[in-house]
Amino acid sequence: MPTTRNTLAILGLIALFVLSGCNVSQPLRSANDSDLFPTSNPDGVDLTRAEQSWLQASDLQDTASTTKIDSPADNDLWTRIRQGFELKSVSNPRIKRQLKWYHDHPNHLPEIEKRARPYLFYIVEALDRRGLPMELALLPAIESAFIPTAYSSQKAAGIWQFMPATGKMLGLDQNWWYDERLDVIAATEAALDYLESLAAQFRGDWELALAAYNAGDGRVRRAIRKNRGLGKATDYWSLDLPRGTKSYVPKLLAMAMVVKNPEAFGTRLTRIPNQPYFGNVDIRANFDLTLAAEIAGLTLDELYQLNPGFKRAANAPQDSHRLVLPVENIEQFNEKLAGLDQNEWRRTRYIIQPGDSLGTIAQRHGTSVVALKQVNRLKSNAIRAGKQLLIPGSAQIVSRSVSTVRGKSRPIEVADSKTIYTVRSGDTLWTIAQSHNVDHKSLAQWNRITLEDTLRPGQKLIILNENIVAEAAATMPVEAVSSLSYFAAAKLVAR
């Protein structure tokens, strides 16, 4: 699957934005916009007296503007990021509200850091290569909290939260086998292509470019034209933009201030080595991810963490692909790979039974007729009882669990399947979901509430047992599993 960017195509995209001012019909939306930064007044126009007193007493604006250099940039990735900050700091009530939120939620940034660790060096290198502001390395924290399988209610996906149409516009492939919007490497390059094109369109104004990344460039240009017609200022802070977009840039700028001096906000960041975490292995064969994880010395969950774009537990038949592995595991993987026969990648073989058809076999094994014909090089749908069929690797995870779950004679016991959680002051769907290792959108669905609903202290929430989530994934159509946390679903179903 191609992951390199066509230079001429990107230049053409930039020219198209600049010359024709085309409107992106599907704006990018944050997967957890309301949960990460809950506030009763997202625009942040006015601060309460208590908030104003707190900000004055802590003097956050002055403190946060001072970069602390604890170690050379070549040793610590956070120091390298701080030294690359370029966006100007402004004093604005919207930013102050976000700063207060960080101060009140000191565990948020360490959780972000934990999820960002595998991907952050690659993003920083890509920004450095392009000469872009290092604040952009924090943008996935605002978009997806660095959850590589994050899906929004608007079908945006991945750490950069691309809508399907926007992803296609930027060359990100989305098919039955693979979704490049979730591919951290491909999506990062596409996101930076897009951000560069927006910055060029808005003449280097990164605040406007970021607003356009969130709301669409057409929406921002219309707001500029409206203000210009009224004789008003046309900077980001003066524009009449959607509520979420008004808080979008303040979230990023506030996070940069916290990263500059986390101690001022009662939080901390640990050292991240300024070196690659992962590398690529090119495999020119149909391969099974469960076997790939095995010979790499990784769990399936660890493999999916670096390869979240796979929608099946195998690549497309007769398709070469890049597999992303931790640097320290690549040598072992290559050594064991060299000793494998290519057919060992396809470990599932099925003996055709009387009455079988390709359609029934495909359904039973969680694959498609097309995939079966490709793997087995069949020119027609005709098959013969007693012959063997190779089943694409995706079948191994799904089919085994489907037969087990559907064979149960008893229904799921409710008492064994859930936890009742009592909401406490300061809780949000996102923080509760994180503490129980479940997806916040699933948590909302289980309790028939929306992501925007305000939780009340004392409110009871149902949190399903993770094995029930796995069983649900096993009995669902394979395409629907992506609505769950795919890492967790794949790992659990494989048990």
Separation of alpha carbons 160 and 158, rounded Å: 5
Separation of alpha carbons 179 and 11, rounded Å: 24
Separation of alpha carbons 234 and 221, rounded Å: 10
Q: How many alpha carbons fall within 13 Å on the CB side of residue 55?
A: 21
Separation of alpha carbons 288 and 322, rounded Å: 13
Residue 459, burial from CB neighbour count under 10 angstroms (0-12, 13-18, 19+): middle
Number of helices (H) and strands (E) in the chain: give both, helices first: 24, 6
363: Cβ contacts below 8 Å, ≥ 6 apart: none
Structure tokens at 7: 């230079």
CA distances from 28 to 25, 86, 160, 191, 205 (A): 10, 23, 9, 11, 19
- Candidates 342, 303, 339, 338; CA nearest to 323 is 303
Listing DSSP states for 63-77 in one string gives: HHTSPP--S-TTTBH
Chain center to CA of 183 = 9
- Give me the catalytic one of 113, 143, 196, 302: 143
Listing DSSP states for 4-66 in one string gives: S--HHHHHHHHHIIIII-PPPSS----TTHHHHS--S-TT-----HHHHHHHHHHTHHHHHTS
Residue 143 a catalytic site member:
yes
Query: Catalytic amino acids?
Result: 143
